[in-house]
């Protein structure tokens, strides 16, 4: 019973860490990386699909992405989708290849992106703490129903706290890496 609660809490905490990593990918650094365009959806025969399903996205050089659509009519659709995304990117087309230069980050935009990354990390920490609260509540309910002893309750709560500390430290380490990436010139 306690193991089920711990297992559920750990799975949910892992999902929170994975979500913050995915959110960090959307915050662009000065370098070109295909994952920056993961959130871009393109209109493809009436339905919105991820860009990666209608084109190849490659890194041309440190500051340029090249996008090669699989179908020629998709070129203007892809351009439009990138322009509409809130990434602040301006694609340019040369035949069937779309090039997306990554603008250099100013000090001000770096600070904005760092603030955004810290906000994402704080959201993940709050989610992890809420998972801890839920798990501890479930453990207290078991103790009230006399299904476990007070000692077992205390041990289980300690184990949940260790999980919480582990995943919050993981979020912190990802945040530090992202901040280091953003401050790199």
d(CA 128, CA 63) in angstroms, rounded, equals 35
pLDDT at 171: 93
Sheet strand arrangement including 55-61: 55-61, 64-69, 97-101, 92-94
- Looking at CATH, the fold of the domain delimited by 34-101 is given as Gyrase A; domain 2 (3.30.1360)
* 90: number of Cβ within 10 Å: 12
Q: How many Cα atoms within 13 Å fall on the side-chain side of residue 36?
A: 26
Query: Helix (H) and strand (E) counts for the chain?
Result: 4, 6
Question: What is 2-26+106-183's CATH number?
Answer: 1.10.132.20
The sign one gets for the Cα dihedral 119, 125, 131, 137 is negative
Question: Is residue 81 helix, strand or coil?
Answer: helix
User: Is pTM, for the whole model, over 0.75?
Assistant: no
* Ranges of each domain in the chain: 2-26+106-183, 34-101
- pLDDT by residue for the chain (185 residues), tens only, comes to 888 989 999 999 999 999 998 888 877 676 777 878 878 888 888 888 888 888 888 888 878 889 899 888 888 888 888 888 877 788 888 888 888 888 777 888 888 888 989 999 999 999 999 999 999 999 999 888 888 888 988 999 999 999 999 999 999 999 998 888 888 76
């Amino acid at each position: 019973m306690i193991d089920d609660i711990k297992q559920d809490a750990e799975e949910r905490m892992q999902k929170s860490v994975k979500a913050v990593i995915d959110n960090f990918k959307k915050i662009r650094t000065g370098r070109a990386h295909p994952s920056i365009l993961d959130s871009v959806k393109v209109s493809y025969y009436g339905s919105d699909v991820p860009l990666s399903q209608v084109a190849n996205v490659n890194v041309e050089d440190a500051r340029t992405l090249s996008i090669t659509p699989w179908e020629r009519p998709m070129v203007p659709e892809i351009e439009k989708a990138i322009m509409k995304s809130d990434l602040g990117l301006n694609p340019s087309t040369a035949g069937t290849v779309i090039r997306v230069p990554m603008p250099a980050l100013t000090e001000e935009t770096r600070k904005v992106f760092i603030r955004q990354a810290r906000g994402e990390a704080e959201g993940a920490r709050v989610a992890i703490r809420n998972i801890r609260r839920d798990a501890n509540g479930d453990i207290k309910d078991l103790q009230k129903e006399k299904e476990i002893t007070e000692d077992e309750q205390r041990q289980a709560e300690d184990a949940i706290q260790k999980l919480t500390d582990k995943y919050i430290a993981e979020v912190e380490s990802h945040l530090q890496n992202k901040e280091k990436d953003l401050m790199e010139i």
